[in-house]
Amino acid sequence: MKIVADSKIPFLSGVFEKFGINVLYKTQISREDVIDADALIVRTRTICDRALLEGTSVRFVATATIGFDHIDLGYLSENKIGFSSSAGCNARGVAQWVLAALREMNIPKSSVIGIVGVGNVGSQLSEMAEKRGWKVLRNDPPRAKKEGNLEFVELDTLLKCSDVLTMHVPLNESTNGLVSAELLEKFRGSCFLNSSRPAVVDEDALLSSINNGKLSKVAIDVWKNEPEINKNLLDKVTIATPHIAGYSKRGKVRATEMAVRALSNWFNLDYELKNWKSPESYKMEEPEYYDIMVDDENLRKNPSSFEDLRNNYRYR
């Protein structure tokens, strides 16, 4: 059996090899690498589509990330290629990033936080924010339709009643460009955060809202055209980080564990692999405080190092 894995996935090296499985680690995964592979373990930097996979022996793809915009699920389904993501692995890390940004921007506890997207991350953030004394409004149309509107409000209501707007939605047809000039005009508050997907936000509209004084406090972790980010926007936002909101050690350990288990169960591998737990799981401590301004400072010092800062990040 042959697995091709992104070399930047932490805590993975040596896991499968102990069971006699061949693993090829690559920073950039090419078609030549996967032509005779049985499975892939990737991050968002590897686009898994027809161009990469057609004519190969790949039967399973695992992404050690919560998002899967880089995966052509239609192609995988048509060709009976299995798939798993690590949804929920870094929810606490992203929530911690949001709370650190709110703390750094001195958002008072009397403020209302509007959370758009209440999946794994949004739910975790809701719980943590309310425990710290903030009032929270939640918007999630798919969940509201399925579960009823007792816990959720319409987006227009959230915009009119919130002091803080934070995005935690997946990228799809309904969320692509959701944060537009029109939406920002409806928003009563002046604090905006995005740690979901870059394409959720119209960056020109965001920059305009900052320049005209509509928004005075903005924290951004995800950027269009990464790693070639908008330098004008970087200069204007209050807090800027290089797509590392979910890069807590806890999140990384869980992501790798989920990918290993999913792949092992798909191929019916050894019981230990099916239930594998990283040795790092037993060493983790919950940090009391995350100093977000260290990441902000590092990015501002050298924006062109965005990819290096992300790839070589020391997990908090």
CA distance 225 to 166: 21
CA distance 310 to 299: 10
Could you confirm whether 300 is annotated as catalytic? no
Domains of the chain with CATH codes = 2-89+249-282 (3.40.50.720), 91-246+289-311 (3.40.50.720)
When pLDDT is averaged across residues 100-109 and rounded to a whole number, the result is 97
Amino acid at 163: D
CA distance 214 to 289: 30
Could you confirm whether 50 is annotated as catalytic? no
User: pTM of the entire structure?
Assistant: 0.80
Active-site residue, selected from the candidate residues 197, 250, 310, 316 = 197
Residues in a beta bridge with 6: 26
pLDDT by residue (tens digit) across 209-260? 999 999 999 999 999 999 999 999 999 999 999 999 988 888 889 999 999 9
% the chain with pLDDT above 90:
84
Active-site residue, selected from the candidate residues 43, 138, 243, 261 = 243
Active-site residue, selected from the candidate residues 104, 226, 280, 307 = 226
CA distance 164 to 191: 5
User: HSE (CB half, 13 Å, CA atoms) of 285?
Assistant: 4
Could you confirm whether 197 is annotated as catalytic? yes
